[in-house]
Chain A
């Protein structure tokens, strides 16, 4: 090869291969770090429990300290193995093990969250496009987009349920309460999509916008071929936030609106009958956390796949 540029290219390709290997190593390391983190958390929990037990036993010597620190008895802090074991126990009055029940409830909540997530993407993107289209709209409307998030979710949740039952009977399908929970989740999910989406749509450099103008491309063309593709890494960042927020929104929505069938309702009920089975509440909370982590990982995988195919990297 006589071409200096092509020779330089070969060097670059080798560097890219090394980069990819380093990235794979980083992924493995992240998994390892997370596993260690979970185990350490378990040991801290158990360690504190033993420590607290010792203080409890010596109450007479340490009256002040013993009364300030959280209680560590089995009611307040059930042993970890008991909590994990609870997943395989069939609770009284039911015919399935708790783990199976929690799985079904997680699926129920996941459905609410997924619909809320998708609706949030659509609504958030529509807002982002509208605000990117017009400076005046951006200046006028953006403060309200921010302000919307100061409304307490718990306060509006019952309202949305009632409103859904009364006003949304015109839809061609039967309106159900879980759909209202999705609306509540949408309230949390549209926000990061709108904010990050707007940043992404505004991210193309002036020379790229000028290039499109030199081709006499209209706003729609520029949106489709430049602004939107440029926004995709931003949208994935938003989607990761929105996915976890959709689970939070669904759980909070279920609890505050009293919608049964999902993890939120389960957490609420187990909290009420805590004294007769604290392990069950812990198990339900763990199931909720796992669901949140699961949706996050799904979006992260989609991000890796999509951006990888385009030869791009995720925003850090």
Chain B
């Protein structure tokens, strides 16, 4: 049996159980993700996408069910630093230079200085910001900061990348540019990606599988497989892309009407 990158079995999450402000955030979530997949979670705001991602990251614990990452418990995977994470806001430390931001996880893992520096240089090249290592984050635009955050999440070569609306705050042009960047990184590094978004075209363009979620309480409505092959500048203008966009949109409509 091959090990799943992520295996989620009948997971539910209740915030503040037994209290007046109790929230049933997720019920009955089952989801298996194979190594190398690019899975996006999409759904109306408040349907539990971030919650699901944070459960995989073991930043919070499920109320019921089990989550395995690389065949171990989610918590063990976190302790083993099996995943990297990027959020909607880049969340760089503004007192550190760009290079030292990328080195942060490596410092925590006890890498030697020379190796850290070599690695951050590589990562800066990878996100095409080679000449900006000595800058401070405040000197960079939002899109560049987001690239640095992604470089930081990939710096220790995690086998799993968790991204929560990482391009939500970017303008459309920058966003499409970043999508291509992420696809390139994904194919170059071979990591598994779980990607939260509320943009349908983004989900279709990036994924091998789109997971459509429904709200109140959050559950998985459908999953839609996507196979666009190698993406290029024309992909977004071609029929297969439109058909998938239409399919995902219909699924979301059904979810919101329910």
Question: Do chains A and B interact in one complex?
Answer: yes
Contact with A along B135-152 (1 / 0, CB 8 A): 111111101100100000
Set of chain A residues within 8 Å of B78, measured between Cβ atoms: 214, 216
Please tell me if A9 contacts chain B, counting CB pairs below 8 Å.
yes
Within A166-217, which residues are at the interface with B (CB < 8 Å)? 205, 207-208, 210-217
Please tell me if A16 contacts chain B, counting CB pairs below 8 Å.
yes
A5–B94 CB distance below 8 A: no
CB distance from A310 to the nearest CB of B (A): 4
B174–A207 CB distance below 8 A: no
A8–B141 CB distance below 8 A: yes
A210–B95 CB distance below 8 A: no
Task: Determine the residue in chain A with the shortest Cβ distance to B57.
Answer: A214
Set of chain B residues within 8 Å of A102, measured between Cβ atoms: none
| Distance of A221 Cα from B107 Cα, bound (Å) | 10
Additional pairs, 8, CB under 8 Å, beyond known A8-B144, A312-B136: A4-B173, A9-B140, A16-B139, A210-B54, A211-B85, A214-B78, A221-B108, A310-B94
Count, chain B residues at interface, CB 8 A: 36
Set of chain B residues within 8 Å of A225, measured between Cβ atoms: 93, 104, 107-108
Please tell me if B23 contacts chain A, counting CB pairs below 8 Å.
no
| A-B CB contact pairs (8 Å), 23 listed | A3-B177, A4-B174, A5-B141, A9-B139, A12-B139, A207-B91, A210-B54, A210-B59, A211-B85, A211-B91, A213-B59, A214-B85, A221-B108, A225-B93, A225-B107, A225-B108, A230-B95, A310-B95, A311-B94, A311-B136, A311-B137, A311-B138, A312-B95
* Known contacts A207-B87, A208-B91; is-contact A5 B59 (Cβ 8 Å): no
B147–A5 CB distance below 8 A: yes
Set of chain A residues within 8 Å of B174, measured between Cβ atoms: 4-5
Please tell me if B237 contacts chain A, counting CB pairs below 8 Å.
no
Please tell me if A316 contacts chain B, counting CB pairs below 8 Å.
no
| Distance of A234 Cα from B173 Cα, bound (Å) | 38
Q: Which of B91, B138, B139, B177 contacts A4 (CB 8 A)?
A: B177
- Which positions in A face B, CB cutoff 8 Å? 3-5, 8-9, 12-13, 16, 205, 207-208, 210-217, 221, 225-226, 229-230, 232, 310-312
Please tell me if B81 contacts chain A, counting CB pairs below 8 Å.
yes
Please tell me if B257 contacts chain A, counting CB pairs below 8 Å.
no
Task: Determine the residue in chain A with the shortest Cβ distance to B156.
Answer: A215
A215–B140 CB distance below 8 A: no
CB distance from B55 to the nearest CB of A (A): 13
B81–A8 CB distance below 8 A: no
Set of chain A residues within 8 Å of B113, measured between Cβ atoms: none
B105–A215 CB distance below 8 A: yes
CB distance from B117 to the nearest CB of A (A): 17
Task: Determine the residue in chain B with the shortest Cβ distance to A210.
Answer: B59
Set of chain A residues within 8 Å of B136, measured between Cβ atoms: 310-312
Please tell me if B119 contacts chain A, counting CB pairs below 8 Å.
no
| Distance of A119 Cα from B149 Cα, bound (Å) | 39
Set of chain A residues within 8 Å of B195, measured between Cβ atoms: none
Set of chain A residues within 8 Å of B109, measured between Cβ atoms: 215
Q: Which of A205, A215, A232, A310 contacts B81 (CB 8 A)?
A: A215
Task: Determine the residue in chain A with the shortest Cβ distance to B147.
Answer: A5
* Known contacts A4-B173, A211-B85, A311-B136; is-contact A226 B143 (Cβ 8 Å): no
B108–A232 CB distance below 8 A: no
Please tell me if B89 contacts chain A, counting CB pairs below 8 Å.
yes
